[in-house]
Structure 1
Amino acid sequence: MRTRQREDSRNSRTHARTETEITRRNALNRLAAIASLPVIAAVFDTAAAAPLAYHLKPINIADGVWVLYGVPEAIDRSNGGAIANVTIFDSREGAVIVDTGPSKRFGVALDALARELTGKSVARVYVTHFHPDHVFGNQAFNRATIAAPQGVIDGLASLGEDFASAMYHTAGDWMRGTEVALPGRVASAGVEEIGGRRFHLRPLSGHTNSDLALIEEKSAVMVAGDLVFLDRAATTPHADLGNWRTSLDALKAIDVRHIVPGHGPTEGGHRGLEQTRKWLAMIEETIRAAFERGLSINEAMAEPLPQWTATIALARYEYERSVMHFYPKLEAGEWPRVDKKT
């Protein structure tokens, strides 16, 4: 009887997976058609289109330290992809920037703002990971000043063009002129002193296979990149949840006054670290339970979420995306190819 139930469950999931693939293709076709409409309209109505501009609003969180907060939204044409946090430090040698935003247009505005805030040019740019909302403003800066771990550089070199295509489709004209620009320096573990500020560089992993957190000694500010999300659901397209939890443990052991997450507000204390850990545990447990119950991917995406997630921006959206990320991996582990069975 149990064997028959397992077979029925497997057949149901296989059928649902086929339906899902068809649904994915239909959705992609619809999205491609929709994405083309504003471009067509622009050809005939360029005079009516207002020039696009990012209105950057720096928030001072410590002496000579500012954060530009991304909106708690998914990337679209209304926000130009400006959904991630960017940090600016003033130093005697010049501005130090952590992450460059989603587009060349954003990077140009960021460079101008950093010069205005500090009265100096940009001395260093650090990139925390290779996701496009954090790195596509690189073009605005001298490549020799941009530093990232080797894994970030390799990831951007490998995936950058695909990211660019996706961003052009999703954010539209905000991306005009944007190209992949690789960092010109490798950021290794250790301390880098720039203009009287000491930056402790901590290459880690988990959100992607290469993540950079940094701690500035004078201000006791930690910039955690997307290893930490606060009041905004974490994204998982390149995540290793075990490594991510290990990185959260490492960050929790560091004594700082402020933690700047990749998305969400700056706070003291460990709320961002703990909330991120709780979210990762929830999605892992919920998705695994759905799979073991024999639910299709569509059924798994519709599973109820805990009440505490109601205050987390994009909780349902990111949970559904995580199902799409992890279900194929679970299926591959459960149903290996016939020629791959041991």
Structure 2
Amino acid sequence: MFTRRHALGILGAGIIAPRAYAQARHVYDLTPIQIADGMWMIEGSTDYFSMQNGGAIVNIVLIEGDSGLILIDSGPSLRYGEALASVARRLDLRGVSAVINTHHHPDHFFGNQVFADKPILSLGETLSAAVSDGDAFADNMYRLLGDWMRGTEVVPPTQVISSGEVTIDGRSFTALPLGGHTVADLAVLDRQTGTLIAGDLVFYDRAPTTPSADLEIWQASLNELEAINAAQLVPGHGPVDKTRAAIPQTRAYLSWLEHTLRNAAREGLDMIEVMDTTLPAEFAGMGAQPQEFHRSVSHLFPGIELQELPRGN
């Protein structure tokens, strides 16, 4: 576990920032926006991880329960979790009553440390993946974000959420165990408002990330989410969607991405040549482009090459 070394607040360049500088500069300014009765969203930046945004790129949802606020995802760091706890107390003096982690990517669960005394729920495979991959994720996050990560330790989920109709702190949800973005992706439908919190199965005006992706399974999950016909949808990244545009956009991007990589493999292009691909206008304007396209090439192209290249006898 990352405790002693990371508690020192080591920067990616190996320089320890002065405490006064860290306190002055590394502050998250989180603004909750009410999106339904008893429900608020904190919208993340659509940029890639940077020292400017402190990794605050994920959407967070806070939902009113019987004894406090139910938090869906907890952000990228201890500092973020502390800022989130402060926001929750401003909305409800009782603070956070429970946490749900939609999946195991670090921007979604590294704030868990602040809420370790509360139930932290996820799918079983998400819990296992957080345990097995957490330290490697933490190492990478410290390199990317330096002192924003000061003191952050990996705290995996503690309870497995069941599928179907569930009640958390008196609030009724439908838990949808899916996958494709990662090995296990949880979407949650709030029964009271008809709001679908889709996690990173859906991106809106922000390029999808693919380090753990299975594109075929992901597309099937999108079909299931679209069939719900929710009143509104909160994507993992990007603005709340009231127009039912986010799922088709995510589906179209993933289809284009797979088609582009398969054609490139059949044409014998190398990875650098694929990265030079000109993005279509509808995708070039997404947040975090072309960085996410380049990352997807590195994640997905080697496997697609193996599938597409001719095999010898």
Indicate whether the TM-score tops 0.5. Answer: yes
Which of 52, 61, 73 is matched with 2:26 structurally? 52
Q: Which of 78, 82, 87 in structure 1 is aligned with 2:61?
A: 87
* Identity within the alignment, %: 43
1:216-255 matches, within 5 Å, as 216-255=190-229
Q: Which residue of 1 is the match for residue 5 of structure 2? A: none
Match of 1:169, as an amino acid? R
| Count of paired positions | 302
What is the SS of the residue equivalent to 1:243?
A: helix
User: In the alignment, which residue of structure 2 is the partner of 1:35?
Assistant: 12
Question: Which residue in 1 is equivalent to 2:139?
Answer: 165
* Paired residue type of 1:133: D
Q: Distance in 1 between matches of 2:279 and 2:194?
A: 36
Letter of the 1:219 counterpart:
T
Q: 2:75 aligns with which of 101, 116, 123?
A: 101
- The secondary structure found in structure 2 opposite 1:234 is coil
Cα distance in 2 for partners of 1:217, 1:66 equals 15
> 1:195 deviation in Å?
4.5
CA distance in structure 2 between the aligned counterparts of 1:199 and 1:48, rounded to whole angstroms: 43
Does 2:281 match 1:307?
Answer: yes
Paired AA for residue 201 in structure 1: A
SS in 1 for 2:290: helix
2:228 is paired with a residue whose SS is: coil
**Do structure 1's residue 123 and structure 2's residue 100 form an aligned pair?**
no
Native 8 Å contact 1:144 1:184 kept in 2:
no
Q: Tell me: CA distance 1:121–1:298, structure 2 relative to 1, closer, same or farther (3 Å).
A: same
Please say if residues 99 and 118 of structure 2, whose CA atoms lie closer than 8 Å, have aligned partners that are also in contact: no
User: Are the aligned partners of 2:82 and 2:114 in contact in 1 as well (CA < 8 Å)?
Assistant: yes
Residues 101-136 of structure 1 deviation map (CA, whole Å, 9 limit, x = unaligned): 000111111112112202223221100000011110
Bigger share in helix:
1
- 1:270 Cα deviation (Å)? 2.0
Describe the shift of the 1:326–1:294 C-alpha distance in structure 2 as closer, same or farther (beyond 3 A): same
Match of 1:259 in 2: 233
Q: Which residue of 2 aligns with 1:147?
A: 121
Match of 1:12 in 2: none
Deviation of 1:296 after TM superposition, in Å, equals: 1.0
Kept in 2, the 8 Å contact 1:96–1:125? The answer is: yes
Report whether the alignment pairs 1:324 with 2:294: no
TM-score computed with the length of structure 2 as normaliser: 0.91
Structure 1 residue aligned with 2:244, among 270, 273, 282? 270
In 2: Cα distance, 1:138 partner to 1:284 partner: 34
Match of 1:156 among 130, 134, 147: 130
Displacement of 1:207 after TM fit? 0.3
Separation in structure 2 between the aligned mates of residue 115 and residue 262 of structure 1, nearest angstrom: 23
- Quote the Cα distance in structure 2 between the aligned partners of 1:77 and 1:180: 20
Q: CA deviation at 1:318?
A: 1.1
The partner residue of 1:113 within 67, 82, 87 is 87
Residue aligning to 2:6 = none
SS of the residue aligned with 1:174? helix
Task: Look up the match of 1:63.
Answer: 37
Give the Å deviation of 1:314.
2.1
Q: Aligned-pair distance for 1:94?
A: 1.3
CA RMSD across the alignment: 1.9
Whether 2:106 is the aligned partner of 1:132: answer: yes
Structure 1, unmatched stretches of 5+, are 1-33
Q: Distance in 1 between matches of 2:29 and 2:239?
A: 18
1: distance between equivalents of 2:21 and 2:185? 42
